[in-house]
């Protein structure tokens, strides 16, 4: 199948985990009724985003939230990218995305590789590493449509990760993310278009909806970009479902017209994958 429908759920996240999960599943069902075959939730969809919240909301995988995701993926017969949740494993906490197939099977679990430790004086200081540990593996999964790869939020800033994914045959890069009011207007769309053009892939970012009263205010504006760098769809700041058709014939045409993969000077440089 050369074309399939992707849906991104820009969820309004509250402080009540069960409500977040229930509403997320309801919106997943709605996306499926609109023909979506691959659906993504946003980063930290079951919990407010913040180092104070991660220990309180963390759960194992499988656990309460991911069991519900498995059930709704099977019910709707879709590929469900479970945004991310705070995960507890062996005494450590991770920012983790679990992906489920149309039969409800857990296909892959991506732990955020690059932790969001930044300091922009007078604007924002945040340190995920206060409570979270980094993941150390690449995460891809196959669908009947294409191979999909995963990053979480800050992972999008590291071009080498996307390059490795494109070398592994991925055609769609999905980044559940929660940029903020400082980094969002400056870099959110810019980074997505850069990763899409650099690697001639589709790039999708699923953000939480904006809550101006939250301790961490998400930028919103979930987005889908094609391999030419065109923004195909972009949400505002409110809770919504964003849709776009992913056209793999278009991707093939762009790669043929501008054949950067054949033209890379591997005799001079390469991006090395140190771990499988």
Catalytic residues: 43, 112, 153
Nearest residue to 116 via CA among 59, 44, 167: 44
CA atoms within 13 Å, Cβ hemisphere of 85: 28
Task: Check residue 181 and report its DSSP letter.
Answer: T
The b/e string for 10-26 (b: 16+ C-beta within 10 A; e otherwise) is bbbbeeebeebbebbbe
CB atoms within 10 A of CB 232: 18
- If phi > 0 it is left, if psi is from -120 to 50 it is alpha, else beta; for residue 35 that is left
Whether 150 and 135 have beta carbons less than 8 Å apart is answered as no
Cα 6 to Cα 38: distance, rounded to the nearest angstrom: 5
Cα 231 to Cα 252: distance, rounded to the nearest angstrom: 18
CB atoms within 10 A of CB 140: 18
Contacts of 195 (CB under 8 A, 6+ apart): 156, 159, 162, 173, 201, 203
Cα 93 to Cα 226: distance, rounded to the nearest angstrom: 34
């Amino acid at each position: 199948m050369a074309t399939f429908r992707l849906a991104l759920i820009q969820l309004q996240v509250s402080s009540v985990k069960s409500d977040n999960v229930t509403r997320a599943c309801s919106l997943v069902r709605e996306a499926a009724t609109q023909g979506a075959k691959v659906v993504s939730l946003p980063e930290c969809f079951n919990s407010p985003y913040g180092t104070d919240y991660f220990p309180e909301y963390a759960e194992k995988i499988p656990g309460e939230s991911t069991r519900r995701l498995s059930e709704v993926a099977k019910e709707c017969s879709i590929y469900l990218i479970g945004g991310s949740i705070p995960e507890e494993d062996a005494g450590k906490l991770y920012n983790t995305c679990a992906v489920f197939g149309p039969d409800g099977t857990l296909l892959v679990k991506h732990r955020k590789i690059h932790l969001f430790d930044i300091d922009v004086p007078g604007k924002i200081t945040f340190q995920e590493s206060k409570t979270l540990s980094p993941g150390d593996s690449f995460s891809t999964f196959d669908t009947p449509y294409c191979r999909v790869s995963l990053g979480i939020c800050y992972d999008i800033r590291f071009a080498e990760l996307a390059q490795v994914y494109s070398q592994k045959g991925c055609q769609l890069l999905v980044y559940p993310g929660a940029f903020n009011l400082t980094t969002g207007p400056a870099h959110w769309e810019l980074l997505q278009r850069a990763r899409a053009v650099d690697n001639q892939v589709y790039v999708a970012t699923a953000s939480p909806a904006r809550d101006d009263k939250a301790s961490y205010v998400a930028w919103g504006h979930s987005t889908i970009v094609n391999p030419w760098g065109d923004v195909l769809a972009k949400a505002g700041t409110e809770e919504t479902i964003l849709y776009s058709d992913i056209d793999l014939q278009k991707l093939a045409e762009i790669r043929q017209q501008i054949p950067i993969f054949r033209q890379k000077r591997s005799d001079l440089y390469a991006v090395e994958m140190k771990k499988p």
